[in-house]
Structure formats: structure tokens, C-alpha cells
Chain A
Amino acid sequence: MNYNWNWSIFFDQSPEGTGTYADMLLSGLQWTIVTALCAWVIAFFLGSLVGVLRTLPSKTANAIGTTYVEIFRNVPLLVQMFLWYFVLPEVLPRQLGDAVKQMPDAPFYTAVVCLGFFTASRVAEQVRAGIQALPRGQRMAGTAMGFTTYQTYRYVLLPNAYRIILPPLTSEFLNNLKNTSVALTIGLLELTGRARSMQEFSFQVFEAFTAATILYVLINLVVVVAATFLERAVAIPGQR
């Protein structure tokens, strides 16, 4: 193979004039992390709400929850990204649509909302499974104590369900982190996008993507370690 390895390329100035290639990748990493965290906030709360809807006795609530999950889980993320970014502003009322298009950092906000809504459907499934895994008597005990439905979920069902689903939620979080790379298609300057720019500018494709890979592996590692600590911190004494 006729390839000129050049590991010192990271210390060269990038043609964008905003620093070295290393700076470029690190700023990409920052966007990746910030996007993932913001999307996760939406995913966690919206996903919990939708998951809860699917465990309520009400048929209407169930139907709403199921519809949400089926739509957002089954349409490919890339398609959703395009719908939010290119189609939504066109179908909105003219003024609102224009405002959306001219928003600074529009790719970022779009990516956050799109990923948040997408991951919410996956979180919802985990939350539903967690609640359904609890003994039926727990809901009854809460209700029998005089708790309202909201209180039963808030004080009895959810604290237990979250503990059960902590491992699958961790992997959903990791998926969410990786999925931020899809947003490069709408122009978000996240890590994968930045590695690609670096390759286009410098032709050092292997160095660029090796660095990106290492950075992805490192944040994954941080997340996994943090999740282990969290699991230990919320473990219930005397259980299993």
C-alpha cells in the first residue's frame, strides 16, 4: 500500500484557520457529547412518559404510547433526520418555517430534537418492560395505600423499574451517543464529521479515523464506568 503515515498531522494547522487538526477533532468531540447529553434529556423524560402510557389501564393512553413507539422506532434515523431538517420547515407556516431555517446552530437543535424523539421510543420500551417486570402486587399495594396513579408511579413503580433497566438504559445511552454521527448529514460538526473533514483536507484518512475511533472508545469507556458506579450507588441492600 502506498500510503504516507504522518502522525504529526494532528499538530498541523487546519485550513479552517481555527487551530490544529487535533483542535478540530476535539471540538467535534465536544459537539458529539453535548448533542448526546441534550438528546438524552429529551429521550429520558419523553421516553419515560411514553413507557408509562403503555402500562396504564386506559386504552387511549396505550394507543398513544404504542403509536409513538412504532413510528419513531421503525422509521430509519437518517430519514427522521432529513424530515426534521429539510421537510419540517417547509410544512410549517411560512414565518415559523423561515425562522427555523435561519436559526443559528440549526443542525445542532435539529439533531437534539430528532435524536431525543428517536431514542425516546427505545427508552419507552425499556421503561415499559421494567414496569411490567415488577410484581403485580406492587401496583396494588401502592393503590391500596391511597396513592393516586401518579404517586404509585412516582414513589413505587418507577424507582424500582429504573433500577431493573439500568443496564439496558446504559446501552441505549451508548447507542444515542453513536447515533449523533448521523447528524453529520445535516451539517452538525460532530466527531465523525470532523474526522471526515480532516481526511478531506489532509488526505490522512487512517490517522483521522484512528483518532476518532479512539475518542469514541474512550467516551464509551467513561460511560460504562459511570454506569457501573451508578448501579452500585442505587443498589438496594438485601436484594438478590
Chain B
Amino acid sequence: MTSSPMPAPTAGQPAVDADHAPKDAGLQPGSLVSGLPKAAPGETMIAIDAISKWYGEFQVLTNCTTKVAKGEVVVVCGPSGSGKSTLIKCVNALEPFQKGQITVAGTKVLDKSTNLPKLRSRVGMVFQHFELFPHLTITENLTIAQRKVLKRDGEDAKKRGLDLLARVGLGAHAHKYPGQLSGGQQQRVAIARALAMNPVVMLFDEPTSALDPEMVGEVLDVMVELAKEGMTMMVVTHEMGFARKVADRVIFMDRGEIVEDATKDEFFGSPRSERAQTFLSKILQH
């Protein structure tokens, strides 16, 4: 959809030609996360309890169980079709599942009395293809859900949105439309849009795999910063550099099962399963 090569000056550098290359300042100092509810460290934010899911006859997820503690960063990896996307989409009930239970910040996902839109508004999600709303300006993209879902006042929403936009280095692009930004810039806006809702958890589904290689860094920078600020994150990615840097745990999936659920050091040091070893050696060759 969009991959117009656009130079992305790195932090601190002034844009070369203000008219032709609007400022893209990259990640800025300051806080991305605010208003997180204070909770005891180690508190469970996402509890995935023995979930199974079928598409008709085909079982996509088999008895998956794991936990993500508050402030923890969990990387999910595995071969294509192993169910990674499906698993994280179950967390905010974008995909229904038939067995088991998921609890997010104390709220059961599979429960008739759960207000799903409300639950989802507290779970930020970032997609492979950004999924900004193409007919809205960047500012409107950042504010629409704050206004329509959280019922925030227009000015407050705008302030929060623009603060975050500035933080991801794109303050100069507020008036533009998504189609006028590069892929990396769109993805940073998408992260800001999710953060504008003050989520308690952030989910990422291969946030960098649709990007041209030179734009991967600018998006990972933002995610690393988020992790450092204590955001609880579940990240489907094959960026093992990112996992090494900030992950607390790594989950390896294959054919709908969680094959390995280990601390980062265990995973990279001595993955136990043969399947994980094969997978790792394959993707680390690149």
C-alpha cells in the first residue's frame, strides 16, 4: 500500500530542506506511558489459561497456557501459520476461542457479562499493516477513539494525541493523511494511537515485518523505549535483536501449541525443544 521511500533523519538532526523533507525527528525524550494503574509488581496482567480454538475442523490453538506479568515483555515467535497472530488476537477477543479462559487485568475475556469494547479500549494493538484510518488526518487518527470510546473532551484528546505524536518524532505531520507518510512513520503513528488510549497492555503483531529494512529501526526504537518505561507487552516478532534487548520471556509456538515458554536467557542459551532450535538457527542465519 505505502512504501514511498522517504528519508527519515535520525534524532537530533535538523531536516535538510524544511520544505521538501518535513521534520521527522525520530524518538524524542519524555514519557510515552502515563496513567498506568499502580499495581503490585509481579501482578498478572494477562493470564492465558488452557485455550483451544478451532476454525471448523481445523484446530489452530491447542491448550495454550501462559502468563504475562505487569511490566513484562514477552516475545512470541514461531514458524508461519503456527498460530501466533491468532493467540494474541484472542487476548482482546478479536478472535473468539472455544475452550479455556483469558483474563486481562482481572477481566475475563470469555464471559457474557464482559463489556468487550471497554476491555479492548484498554488493550493497545499494533498491526503488521499499521491500519491507520486512511480517510482521517493523523490528528484525527490519534483522537477519534479517545473521543468516541473514552468520551474524552476534544481538546484533551488532541493534546494527548499530539504529545504522543511529538514523542515519536512526528509532531510536524499532524495535519497529514496516513497515505502521505512512509511505512515506518505510519507504524509510529499507530503506536501513538494505541498509547493515546492509556492501555494497560500493548499487543504487537509483527509490527516491523511489512516495513522496508531501513525503517525497522525507527519503530523498534519506540518499542524498546516503551518496554523500558514498564509497559506490559506481548510482541509477535521475528526481530531477535529486539527480543535479546528487551524481552523478559520468549514463547515459541509451533502448530498451534506453545512449545517453549522460557526466560530470554534460557531461550537463547539453550532452547530445549528441537523445533525451537531448528527455528532459531533458520532465522538467525539471516
B149 adjacent to A147 (CB under 8 Å): yes
**The 5 residue pairs across chains A and B that have the minimum distance between CB atoms:** A146-B121, A238-B179, A238-B180, A141-B131, A145-B145
Q: Confirm or deny: B135 has a beta carbon within 8 angstroms of a beta carbon on chain A.
A: yes
Distance to closest chain A CB from B97 (angstroms): 15
State whether the Cβ of A151 lies closer than 8 Å to any Cβ in chain B: yes
Q: Are B94 and A236 touching (Cβ within 8 A)?
A: no
Are B179's CB and A137's CB within 8 A?
Answer: no
Interface 1/0s, chain A 25-54, versus B by CB < 8 A? Answer: 000000000000000000000000000000
**Complex formed: what's the CA distance from A144 to B150 in Å?**
13
User: A residues within 8 A CB of B129?
Assistant: 135, 137
Say whether, besides A144-B123, A145-B121, A146-B121, A156 and B176 are in contact (CB < 8 Å). Answer: no
Contact call B197/A145, Cβ cutoff below 8 A: yes
Q: Does A92 contact B (CB under 8 A)?
A: no
- The interface residues of chain A lying within 8 Å CB-to-CB of B100 are none
A140–B94 CB distance below 8 A: yes
Could you show 5 A-B contacts with beta carbons less than 8 Å apart? A138-B131, A140-B131, A145-B197, A147-B117, A238-B180
Q: How many B residues are at the interface, by size bracket?
A: 20 to 34
Encoded as 1 (CB less than 8 Å from any A CB) or 0, chain B from 118 to 152 comes to 10111101011101111100000000110011100
Let me know if A236 and B131 touch, CB within 8 A: no
- What residues on A are CB-neighbors of B131 within 8 Å? 135, 137-138, 140-141
> Which residues of chain B are near A239, meaning CB under 8 Å?
134, 177, 179
The reply to whether A236 and B177 form a contact with Cβ atoms under 8 Å apart is yes
Report the minimum CB–CB distance from A134 to chain B (whole Å): 9
CB pair A236 B135 closer than 8 Å:
yes
For A163, the chain B residues whose CB sits under 8 A away are: 135
Whether a CB of chain A sits under 8 angstroms from the CB of B92 is yes
Judge if B178 is at the interface, Cβ distance under 8 Å.
yes
B24 CB, nearest partner CB in chain A, Å: 15
CB contacts under 8 Å to B, within A146-177, are: 146-148, 151, 155-156, 159-160, 163
List chain A positions with a Cβ less than 8 A from chain B: 135, 137-138, 140-148, 151, 155-156, 159-160, 163, 236-240
Contacts of B94 in A (CB 8 A): 140, 143-144
Residues of A within 8 A of B177 (CB): 236-239
Q: Most chain-A CB neighbours within 10 Å: which of B125, B135, B179?
A: B135
| Inter-chain contact B135/A160, CB cutoff 8 Å | yes
B163 to chain A, nearest CB (A): 18
8 Å CB interface, B174-222 against A:
176-181, 193-194, 197
* Shortest beta-carbon distance from A166 to chain B in Å: 13
What's the Cα separation between A155 and B148 when bound, in Å? 9
**CA distance in complex: A240, B2 (Å):** 9
Given contacts A144-B120, A146-B121, A155-B133, 12 further A-B contacts (CB under 8 A): A135-B129, A140-B127, A141-B131, A141-B132, A146-B197, A148-B117, A151-B149, A155-B144, A160-B134, A163-B135, A236-B134, A237-B176
Residue on A nearest B89 in the bound complex, by CB: A140
Q: Is the interface of B mostly helix, strand, loop or mixed?
A: loop
Q: Residue on A with the closest CB to B2?
A: A238
Residues of A within 8 A of B150 (CB): 146
A142 vs B145: C-alpha distance when bound (angstroms)? 9
B145 contact from A135, A146, A236, A238, Cβ within 8 A: A146
Q: Which of A142, A145, A236 contacts B179 (CB 8 A)?
A: A236
Residue of A nearest to B145 (CB): A145
Q: In the bound complex, how far is the Cα of B194 from the Cα of A182, in angstroms?
A: 53
Give Cα A184–Cα B132 distance, bound, in whole angstroms: 49
State A144–B117 Cα separation when bound (angstroms). 8
Most chain-B Cβ atoms within 10 A of its Cβ — which of A144, A159, A240? A144
Residue of A nearest to B140 (CB): A155
CB of B118 to closest CB in A, whole Å: 7
Q: Per a CB cutoff under 8 Å, which of A144, A151, A236 touches B125?
A: A144
* A156-B179 in contact (CB<8A): no
Residue of A nearest to B128 (CB): A137
How far apart are A56's CB and chain B's nearest CB, in angstroms?
A: 15
Task: Please give, as numbers and ranges, the residues of chain A lying within 8 Å of B180 by CB-CB distance.
Answer: 237-238
Chain A residues whose CB sits within 8 angstroms of the CB of B145 once the complex forms:
145-147
B126 shortest CB reach to chain A, Å: 9
B121 to chain A: which residues have CB within 8 Å?
A: 145-146
Q: Which residues of the other chain, A, contact B1 by a CB distance below 8 angstroms?
A: 135
Rounded to whole angstroms, the CA-CA distance of A146 and B135 in the bound complex is: 19
| A138 touching B133 in the complex, CB below 8 Å, given contacts A147-B148, A155-B144 | yes
In the bound complex, CA of A155 to CA of B120 (Å) = 17
B115 to chain A, nearest CB (A): 10
Q: Which of B122, B133, B150 has the most CB of A within 10 A?
A: B133
